[in-house]
Amino acid sequence: MQLPIIIDEIAIRQDEQGRFCLNDLHKASGGEKRHQPANWLRMEQTIELIEELSVPHIRGTKQNQPVSVLQGGSNQGTYVAKELVYAYAMWISPRFNILVIRTFDAIVNKANKITEALTWDQQRQAGKEVRANFTGTLREHGVSGFGFAQCTDGIYRPLFGATASKLKQERGLAKRASLRDAMSGGRVDCFGVCRDCS
């Protein structure tokens, strides 16, 4: 998941391969002429770093390379891999280096939280589908009313050491509350979805 990266009110563009625009980073750093990306790219240490990051068996292709230059159009600029972003920021100044690292870390953490939330929703939906199949199968075999609760308890007891009503009581849930909604990632609930008691 790509979230926008903004450093000192400058949006850092990315290309299709996820590389970051050095020109935008230069602007975010203050735009001093001595810090132009071209100056940094000519340095021996930078050249060696780029060679180290290059993928040997596809050298010369645009994909999976640490540096790509786009000429013309609204997205023109020099785009580099994240490792080169950090090296460029370090070259500019310790303050800018820390700013870049903290910004990138914050974006990664935010993206991970969004992904986890989506995963939980997807798992919850899968749990509902498995529960519907479970109750449908029971219904096909003549189970009704209190029989559903007995079958559910038959699954909960060996997994969690208690009946559904006892687990609800432990969590302070109402009798009609969904116990599955009180479970969260890490442990398997009775309907096959990864959950952990919260």
Do residues 88 and 135 both lie within one domain? Answer: no
Q: How far apart are CA 147 and CA 186, in angstroms?
A: 29
* Distance (Å) of CA 70 to CA 27, 79, 158: 17, 8, 60
Instruction: Tell whether 82 is covered by a domain.
Output: yes
Do residues 129 and 184 both lie within one domain? Answer: yes
**Does the pLDDT value for residue 194 go beyond 90?**
no
**Residue keyed to tokens 């340095």:** 43
Instruction: Tell whether 104 is covered by a domain.
Output: no
**Does the pLDDT value for residue 28 go beyond 90?**
yes
Model confidence pLDDT, tens digit, residues 85-121: 999 999 999 999 999 999 988 888 887 787 777 777 7
Cβ count near 126 (within 10 Å): 14
* Structural domain for 33, as ranges: 5-92
Do residues 132 and 59 both lie within one domain? Answer: no
Do residues 88 and 122 both lie within one domain? Answer: no
**Does the pLDDT value for residue 32 go beyond 90?**
yes
Do residues 26 and 88 both lie within one domain? Answer: yes
Contact predicate 103/117, CB 8 Å? no
Higher pLDDT, 122 or 71: 71
Q: What b/e string do you get for 101-113 counting C-beta neighbours within 10 Å, with b at 16 or more? A: eebbeebeeeeee
Instruction: Tell whether 162 is covered by a domain.
Output: yes
Model confidence pLDDT, tens digit, residues 38-75: 999 999 999 999 998 886 655 555 556 899 988 888 88
Instruction: Tell whether 105 is covered by a domain.
Output: no
The total domain count for the chain is 2
Do residues 76 and 138 both lie within one domain? Answer: no
* Distance (Å) of CA 86 to CA 2, 53, 91, 100, 160: 18, 13, 9, 7, 47
Do residues 18 and 75 both lie within one domain? Answer: yes
**Does the pLDDT value for residue 198 go beyond 70?**
no
pTM over 0.75? The answer is no
Model confidence pLDDT, tens digit, residues 150-173: 887 777 777 778 888 888 888 888
Instruction: Tell whether 99 is covered by a domain.
Output: no
- State residue 185's pLDDT score: 46
Do residues 80 and 31 both lie within one domain? Answer: yes
Do residues 9 and 79 both lie within one domain? Answer: yes
Closest Cα partner for 43 from 75, 81, 90? 90
Do residues 87 and 134 both lie within one domain? Answer: no
Instruction: Tell whether 123 is covered by a domain.
Output: yes
DSSP structure string for 119-130 = HHHHHHHHHHHH
Instruction: Tell whether 25 is covered by a domain.
Output: yes
Instruction: Tell whether 66 is covered by a domain.
Output: yes
DSSP structure string for 12-76 = E-B-TT--EEHHHHHHHTT--GGG-HHHHHTSHHHHHHHHHHS-GGGTT-STT-SEEEE-SSTT-
Do residues 83 and 143 both lie within one domain? Answer: no
Do residues 126 and 192 both lie within one domain? Answer: yes
